[in-house]
Structure formats: structure tokens, C-alpha cells
Amino acid sequence: SETKMWGGRFRQQTAGLVEAYTESVSYDYLLYAQDIAGSSAHAKMLAKQGVLTQDEATQIVNGLAQIKKEIENGEFKWQQKLEDVHMNIESRLTELIGEAGKKLHTGRSRNDQVALDFRLFVSDSLRNWQELLKALCQVFINQAEQHIHTLLPGCTHMQPAQPVSLAQHLLAYVAMFKRDSERMNDCDKRTRISPLGAAALAGTTYPLNPLAVADELKMYGTFINSMDAVSDRDFVAEALFCAGLTMTHLSRICEDLIIWANPMFGFINLPDAYATGSSIMPQKKNPDVAELMRGKVGRVYGDLFALLTTLKGLPMTYNRDLQEDKQPFFDANQTVSHSIQLMTGMIGELTFNPQKMYKALKQGFLNATELADYLVGKGIAFREAHHITGSAVALAEEKNLTLEDLQLSELQSLCSLIDSDVYEVLKVENAVARRNTPGGTGEKSIKAQLEIFKSFVK
């Protein structure tokens, strides 16, 4: 077939459905900027090595720059029959500059070309995610600074456990996103490695300089083994895991927001811009954005598993199966970027109801641990103190009171060592203020955390 770039040895036209089935340009056009950067770097290197003339390289670089403009102006004509982004761009280059265009692919295969493009794309995405996560952490930090003295029930098993500062709760998320960002940065070091020079699978006879290409593209280094270089997609799997875990963390905030927005809690007011109404119930203000974000996590996990399944059992080296690596990543990339940005908007505009939170502290005996610790201070062993406190809780529950509502005489009937100084200890404010162990919810500990997190987002 005359029309195909690889058509020299073919006698028959491609069957009807085959073209539509095998094409990837309908989605891999997204790699155009990376493809053009990679080809320009390759051409410059070829000229330095004496494989192309300087004039040929200049024509190629200028032609590619013009193609980039055409693409960005929406003037470029993408053609399915040219299969993928690489052949669409190369074909247009030859149309524009003639002979020199046909020399660009010297010492290169689409196998190392696509691996390079995709590595650059994934790396650029990982860097973008890190920036977006820092912006998200910044809005959490801003809210936390406003709410160091706002208290709410801290829960385990979704049951009231101990009072905490709202800032402490919010900064827990910053801790997760800091780790996510660091994980992405680590992944980038293995991703931004150039496979160019591996050619189809075995290297090439041209005197290439792979390191020059890697330097030009500001990459960390080059491949070690040509067969691995064209078939390795570990970086995609790692990046998809990074995206998946970030989505996990986002979904946990979504869950908190959904619960807190329920009027039975009433801890927050969702910003109108991030909530939706009901078509039948006029009173409703639903947390649809948070729910949908929680739901989208499933698809991002699916993207990771789609890729891992594609990779499983692949023989060496490049196999066309690998073309299926891109859509899962593009999908996850869009979902995770949009989710982080939406969460940033939502948290930035969130307003809290400290009175509702404070009222909630009256339920669930959140200061029971304080009483036990108080008894330990009076010389009682912790297990015994735990037991006495349990009896105090039972007594208060029976009378429908809080621990601090019990009379001193009632408390003393459970343990004669209890004195009137117990009431200071039982105040929730004091319970929080006294927890200044490293990473704790006391003001000093929170301020130390804020220092760490602020230098992270800088």
C-alpha cells in the first residue's frame, strides 16, 4: 500500500476496520508537544554527531516549530490513516520541508520515540500534580491557622474519642498530600529518563549521543539496556499508583465533608458554588462534588489495573499491546488534576460552625481519658484508673449527664482520691491544650506542624 509510511513491502490495502482499530492519533495527539521537543532534540544531536548537516537540522527544528503553531491554532489536520501522533507530525514535516524531513527518523524507531514522548508527558503531569497539591495544602494551612482554637470531637471507629483542634484534623490531610507530592517527585526521577537511542530494540549503528538528547530535554539520564528501554512502562504504573493514592486521600476528605455537611452534624456550610440542589426537594443542598469525587476514585484505580493487566506476561520487547498504555493515563491525569483543583476551591471557601462542633463535644464522654490520666496522677495504676473511669461514665450515662456534671461526692464515691481540681482537668479546652507532645493537638504542637507544612508549600 502506497499511502502508508511503512507500506513498502505491502501489496494489499489495510482492511476497513483495521485502520480504526489500530489508530491512536485520536488520543495520542495529546503528546504533540513532547513529540516535537523530542524530535528537535534528536535532530540537533544528529547534526552535532555529523549524521545530518547543520542546515538539515535547522530546517527540521524550524519546521517542527511551525507544526506546533499549526496544532495550537487548531489548523493542523490530524489524519487517522497516518495512525499516530508521530507519523502525523513527521508526514507534515516532510510536506513542509521536503528531503530533510525524511531524514529525521535516522537512528530512531517509533518504539523509542513513543517511550520518550510518554515519559516526558508523564513527568510533566507528575510535576503539575505536585504544584496542584501544594496549592491544595496552602488552603488547608490557611483554614488551619484560623481554627487552632476551634474544637471538635476526634473520632476512632467513627465514634467520639477525644477532643481535638480543628486545625489538627485539617493538617492531617496536609500530611497525606505532602507524602503524595514527595512520592510523585521520587517517581519523576525514574520517569524522566531518556530511552532515545534504543532505536527499535537493539540500539543502532549511527554514532548517536543519547546523553546529549537527555540533557537538551532536561532529563535525569539515559537508559541502560535498549530492550528494556523500549518495553518498560513501569513509570506509568508508578504514576498511576501515585494518582490512585492521591484520589484515595481526596475521597477520605469527601467523606468527612459529606458527614459534616449533614444537618445532623452541621459542622460546615458547603459553598453554594460546590453544591447542587434537588429537582424535587426544594430544601436540599447536596454535596454532589464530594460524592462524585469519591466515585471517580474507582475509575482511577481501574486505570492502574488496566495498565498492569496490559503489561502482564508481555514478551520482550515492544508489542503493540503497549499502545494501550495511554488512555488509562490520560483519563487518570485529567481526573486527578481536576479533583485536586476542585478540592482546593471547595476547602478554600468552606465555612465552619464552631458552635455546632463545640456542642457535639458534650456527647460521647470525650474527656474520659482525662479522668483516667488524672487518677494516674494521683498514684493509681492506669488499668485501675481506666476501670474507675468506666464506672464514672456508666454513672453519668445512667443520669443522662456529662462527666463534669457529676457532683464531687458522686465522683468520690467511685474513688476517694478525686478532688475538686478534677473539674479543670475535665474541661475539653484543657484536654486539647495539654497535648503538646510532638505531632499532638496542643497549640504548641500544631504551630510546630504549621512550620513544617509551610516550608513544604513554599
Which residues are at the interface with ligand ARG (CB under 6 A)?
24, 28, 84, 110-111, 114, 318, 320, 322-323
Interaxial angle between packed helices 288-311 and 326-349, expressed in degrees from 0 to 180 and rounded to the nearest 10: 160
With cell 479533583, the residue in question is 339
Which residue, 18 or 401, is less far from ligand ARG as judged by CB? 18
Counting every residue, how long is the chain? Answer: 458
**Smallest distance from ligand ARG to CB 24, Å:** 4
The verdict on whether 413 is a catalytic residue reads no
Which residue, 18 or 394, is less far from ligand ARG as judged by CB? 18
The secondary structure element, H or E, covering residue 160 is strand 159-165
Which residue, 53 or 309, is less far from ligand ARG as judged by CB? 309
**Smallest distance from ligand ARG to CB 101, Å:** 19
- The C-alpha atoms of residue 41 and residue 214 are separated, in whole angstroms, by 8
Could you tell me the CA-to-CA distances from 226 to 199, 232, 346, 359, 453 in Å, in that order?
Answer: 8, 10, 47, 65, 42
**Smallest distance from ligand ARG to CB 338, Å:** 25
Which residue, 24 or 339, is less far from ligand ARG as judged by CB? 24
- The C-alpha atoms of residue 26 and residue 127 are separated, in whole angstroms, by 25
Grid coordinates representing 340 are 485536586
**Smallest distance from ligand ARG to CB 125, Å:** 17
Q: Is residue 25 helix, strand or coil?
A: helix
**Smallest distance from ligand ARG to CB 2, Å:** 19
Ordered DSSP codes for 46-69: HHHTTSS-HHHHHHHHHHHHHHHH
Which residue, 31 or 261, is less far from ligand ARG as judged by CB? 31
**Smallest distance from ligand ARG to CB 303, Å:** 16
Beta strand segments in 185-282, E: 193-194, 221-222, 268-269
**Smallest distance from ligand ARG to CB 319, Å:** 9
| Phi then psi dihedrals of residue 159, to 5 deg | -115, 145
Which residue, 84 or 303, is less far from ligand ARG as judged by CB? 84
The verdict on whether 386 is a catalytic residue reads no
Ordered DSSP codes for 401-456: --GGGS-HHHHHHH-TT--TTHHHHH-HHHHHHT--STT-SSHHHHHHHHHHHHHH
- The C-alpha atoms of residue 365 and residue 46 are separated, in whole angstroms, by 74
Residues 380, 386, 391, 396, Cα dihedral to 10° = 110
- By CB atoms closer than 10 A (0-12, 13-18, 19+), residue 124 is middle
- The C-alpha atoms of residue 225 and residue 202 are separated, in whole angstroms, by 9
- The C-alpha atoms of residue 228 and residue 115 are separated, in whole angstroms, by 11
The catalytic position among 157, 409, 420, 455 is 157
Q: What is the DSSP letter of 103?
A: T
Interaxial angle between packed helices 32-48 and 85-97, expressed in degrees from 0 to 180 and rounded to the nearest 10: 60
Task: Report the relative pairing of strands 159-165 and 193-194 from DSSP bridges.
Answer: unpaired
Which residue, 125 or 162, is less far from ligand ARG as judged by CB? 125
The catalytic position among 26, 278, 338, 391 is 278
Which residue, 35 or 180, is less far from ligand ARG as judged by CB? 35
- By CB atoms closer than 10 A (0-12, 13-18, 19+), residue 166 is buried
**Smallest distance from ligand ARG to CB 114, Å:** 4
The catalytic residues are 157, 278
